[in-house]
Chains A and B, each alone.
Chain A
């Protein structure tokens, strides 16, 4: 399983764009990069997933460089409700046997 490294915490202000970077130096060929969001005492929620280049949905963008050894989750114009822990996961999403291994995550605090 590819190990991931993220900043422990980040602060931002409402309305700003937030970029959270995740390092995954030993990512395998079949691995995808997935980000989850977790609020206190709630289960994690899927945000976005990608393999290479850029992926965008209604919530976030995910930037993956050509070597795929890192990725950046971009949250546009954050609000107070975006305060949460963000997890970067790396793994093969196909097949019937896979571990979803969560690292320590990044605590994002959005300030007014």
Chain B
């Protein structure tokens, strides 16, 4: 158990809909990272938050947004969903001085 909790584990929704994925980082970790992994694809970095503020941005679509709340949990919002958004979405957390990032078990999103 990495200590990072992602909910839900599975999500099935229709095209055009909007979903929210939730991530609870390890206790004390201030950084949260979001990744997308499509079938047989690598891990695509989406965005990083540190203590509530956006700190780094990767290949995140405009239809996607994220935020980190005062209690440090984070949510990734995906809107106007398309079939191609079907993927595993991972959240990871790390401390400032820690060099290791801990990943959750992911949320598998299926858009039908």
* Interface residues of A, Cβ cutoff 8 Å to B: 32, 34, 38, 41-46, 49, 87, 93-105
Name the distance in Å between A88's Cβ and chain B's nearest Cβ. Answer: 12
Q: Is the CB of B2 within 8 A of A43?
A: yes
Q: How far, in Å, is A59 (CB) from chain B's closest CB?
A: 13
- B7 proximity list for chain A (CB < 8 A): none
Q: How far is the CB of B8 from chain A (nearest CB, A)?
A: 15
Chain B: minimal CB distance from A66 (Å): 21
Instruction: Tell me whether chain A's interface is mostly helix, strand or loop, or mixed.
Output: loop
User: Which residues in B have their C-beta under 8 angstroms from that of A97?
Assistant: 48, 50, 55-56
Contact (Cβ within 8 A) B100 A104 = no
Q: Decide: B43 and A102 in contact? CB cutoff 8 A.
A: yes
Q: Which residues of B contact A (CB under 8 A)?
A: 2, 4, 30-31, 33, 35, 42-43, 45, 48, 50-51, 55-56, 58, 88, 90, 92, 96-106, 108
> Is there contact, CB below 8 Å, between A102 and B102?
no
Q: How far is the CB of A5 from chain B (nearest CB, A)?
A: 13
A102: contacting residue among B45, B51, B97, B100, CB under 8 A: B45
Taking A100-B92, A102-B43, A103-B42 as contacts, is the C-beta distance between A46 and B106 under 8 angstroms? no
Contact in complex: B56, A98 (CB < 8 Å) = yes
A99→B103 contact, CB < 8 A: no
Q: Is the CB of A41 within 8 A of B99?
A: no
A45 (CB) vs chain B CBs: closest residue: B103
**Does the CB pair A44–B43 fall under 8 Å?**
yes
A43 is contacted by which of B30, B99, B106 (Cβ under 8 Å)?
B106
Given A43-B104, A96-B55, 9 extra CB contacts under 8 A: A32-B99, A43-B2, A43-B105, A44-B90, A44-B92, A94-B96, A96-B96, A98-B56, A102-B45
